[in-house]
Structure 1
Amino acid sequence: MPLGSRGRGAAPTLGSSTRGQSSGARALVACLVVSVALFTLSCQTGEAGPLGAVRGAFQTVTMPVRLLGSAVSAPLRGLGNIFSNLTADQATLSDLQGEVDELRARNAELEEGAGEADRLRKLLDLQDTSQLTSTGAHIISGSTDSWSSTVTIDKGSSSGLTAGMPVTASSGVIGQVVSCGATSSTVRLLSDEGSSISAMVQSTRAQGMVQGSATGEVTLELVRTSEQVSVGDVIVTSGLGGVFPKGLPIGEVASVESSPGDLYLTIVVDLYADPSRVEEVLVITSLTEEQQASAEDIAEADQQERGDAAASGDGSDDTTDEGGAGASSDGGGTDAE
């Protein structure tokens, strides 16, 4: 009996397990059937169907929870990125620094190229606008002594340059060639005390000479006190003497002074071109007839000289004629010096 009792007791246990497994299988099959049916219905009805409405309602209800989860997880992701950067090996950091240095060098190279292209474009614009017959050159060094103001350019006699040729930057006149080698030339700057070129006030056409000095100050000389000159007036080349083309910008009036009894104004000029900041220049190799002073310009300069002679009390015809000739040719002789 005990054995039989144990046998009968064990049989219901095995039957219950079998029935449980069958029920689970049926439930799984039912879920699969329902899922397939729902999927088929969703494909047929799209978002406009009942399932789309249910899905939309579910997303609306759960939206705050999802937003809260995203806000909480964002700082954690940031901390993870920071931790990854801090734990990057030295080789990776070295590679990244190398890439940064390379990009910086490349950026500096591009900026330098863009600056040079802009400067050359301005020179070409000046060449075209003023119709200059010229050749381009680079400034390669400054003065080699302390008592002169000169620069050296990388073009010489082999490029057709000769002493006396004018030199200009895009912003204004630089100076004049004073000596030439085969592949380089020395340019005397306008600020040098030995420099003197014919010039005029652009607005009033008052003639004078732009003169350098030992201190580097540049002045406009030989302008009578009867002339109207104001601070800010533009000074340009006059074309007298046939060396510098007429109308090239030089600078502007920085100050004007006149004392009782003076024949001439004291005019200080600020030059437009700063040789210490100029790299490319144009050397003007020849002038056209239109670029030289006209007969009217020469007559006006002669008349100004006659006025100067009369104001100084020298009224002889011979002296007046010499003064007039000097006004029309001094610019050329002095410029080419």
Structure 2
Amino acid sequence: MRPLIVLCVLSIVVLTFYIREGEYGPIHAVRSAVTTITSPVRFAGSLAATPFNALGNVFSNLTASQETLSELKAQNDELTAKVAELSEAQETAERLQELVGLQSTYNLQSTAARIIGGSSDAWSQTVTIDKGSANGMAIGMPVCNAYGVIGQITETSLNTSTVLLITDESSGVSAMSQRSRAQGMLRGQPDGTLRLEYVSVDDDVKTGDIVITSGIGGVFPKGLPIGTVSSVDRSDNDIYYTIVVRMQASTENNEEVLVITSLTDEQRASDDDVAAANDSDDVSADTSVDDADATDSGDDTSDDTSDVDDSTDEE
């Protein structure tokens, strides 16, 4: 008992001196020396104990109750489902935001719909949307996605509608080059490509030109993007270019679309202006033909008068 008391008193005295002495006192120096000497031993001991600690954790996990493991698995599945749900919601929100941007940019009167199916045969290229006649859908209404025109409604039921894609052979859209305003008819091809037909070789069309709807016909609003010219070819003695257009919109990676339900007054006025311009060109052409006919008639009359004069002189 007495040695223990002596050691306690000695420890208190040493601690007191340790606290009171400066940073470079003798007790601090002894402590630093002991720490330096024992550091390798402590490091070796830590390395030797690491495998045993890891083994202890393994045994701890193995001996965990089945109820605890089931709870952890359920929590993991729940978190995974929530992450997938949030990711899907974010992607859907981004697609809808792009549709809203298209609607705002082109001032479209439209209704949003979702693609719920594709064509059921290999002879037509169509998609099915989840809006029908009960939602105001009608045959002939144009359909767009966030990147531009994709097709036109050809069939409706109460709750669904069939959209004929512009890549189908039977599809046709009045279109023009945004740069040069050269106009033609965009048609689908058997290989799934698009061609801008009936563009005269006198027009200026180049690879890379953006192709938009021309508004002629009053179906598609003027100025909607369709695609980009990928090639322009001309064979000898042809009066029209062979123009291949790469479609800008795609239905493969898009689920939401806009159905244009009606044209705005501004779009109708634009279409009327285009039609009036075409009518004016037709009238000018007719007038030119009439003038040419009148000139020919005048020439014929002059010839007849000359013949009469000649007969008189001979008499």
Normalising to structure 2: TM-score of the pair?
Answer: 0.77
Q: Is the 8 A contact 2:113 2:131 kept in 1?
A: yes
Partners of 1:290 and 1:45 in 2: CA distance: 92
Q: Does 1:172 find its partner at 2:153?
A: no
Deviations 1:117-160 (A, max 9, x none): 11111111111222221111111122234433222211122222
Provide, for residues 30-60 of structure 1, a one-character-per-residue CA deviation record: whole Å limited to 9, x for no partner.
1111122233444555867654444334323
Gaps (5+ residues) in structure 2?
291-315
Residue 254 of structure 1 is matched in structure 2 by 230
Trace 1:104-119 onto structure 2 (pairs within 5 A): 104-119=80-95
Q: In structure 2, what is the Cα distance between the partners aligned to 1:104 and 1:117?
A: 20
**Count of aligned positions:** 288
The answer on whether the counterparts of 2:207 and 2:229 sit within 8 Å (CA) in structure 1 is: yes
Deviations, residues 86-133 of structure 1 (Å, cap 9, x unaligned): 676776666555544444333322222221111111111111222221
| Higher mean displacement: 104-113 or 40-49 | 40-49
Q: 1:220 aligns with which of 189, 196, 203?
A: 196
Of residues 192, 201, 205, the one that matches 1:229 is: 205
1 CA distance for matches of 2:43 and 2:169? 79
Asked if the contact 2:222/2:271 (under 8 Å) is kept, the reply is no
Paired residue type of 1:259: S
1:7-29 superposed Cα distances (whole Å, 9 cap, x missing partner): xxxxxxxxxxxxxxxxxx33222
Which of these residues, 110, 115, 124, is aligned with residue 134 of structure 1?
Answer: 110
Per-residue CA deviations over 1:189-246 (Å, capped at 9, x if unaligned) read 1122222111111121111111124443321111111222222221111122222122
Does residue 64 (structure 1) correspond to residue 40 (structure 2)? The answer is yes
Equivalences for 1:52-91 in 2 at 5 Å?
Answer: 52-82=28-58, 84-85=60-61
Farther-moved stretch of structure 1 (139-148 vs 129-138): 139-148
Match in the other structure for 1:197: 173
Distance 1:46 1:249, change over 3 A: farther
Amino acid at match of 1:206: A
CA distance in 2, matches of 1:168, 1:40: 86
Structure 1 residues 242 and 51 mapped into 2: Cα distance closer, same or farther (>3 Å)?
farther
Question: How far apart in 2 are the matches of 1:153 and 1:305?
Answer: 41
Tell me whether 71-80 or 111-120 shows the greater mean CA deviation: 71-80
CA distance in 1, matches of 2:260, 2:22: 81
Percent identity, aligned pairs only?
Answer: 50
1:182 equivalent to 2:158? Answer yes
For residues 32 and 239 of structure 2, the distance between their equivalents in structure 1, rounded to whole angstroms, comes to: 97
2:240 alignment partner in structure 1 = 264
| 2:124 corresponding residue in structure 1 | 148
SS in 1 for 2:252: helix
TM-fit CA distance, 1:85: 5.0
User: After alignment, is 96-105 or 197-206 more displaced?
Assistant: 96-105
Between structure 1 and structure 2, the one with the greater Rg is 1
Partner of 2:183: 207
- Distance change >3 Å, CA 229–CA 82, structure 1 → 2: farther
Q: Secondary structure at the match of 1:34?
A: helix
For 2:50, the aligned partner's letter is A
- Work out whether 1:240 is the aligned partner of 2:196: no
Q: Which moved more, 1:39-48 or 1:191-200?
A: 39-48
Shift of 1:265: 0.9
Tell me the amino acid that sits aligned with residue 149 of structure 2.
V
Q: 1 CA distance for matches of 2:21 and 2:106?
A: 79
Give the one of 89, 96, 120 matched to 1:120: 96
Alpha-carbon separation, structure 2, partners of 1:125 and 1:185: 24
Q: Is the 8 A contact 2:218 2:271 kept in 1?
A: no
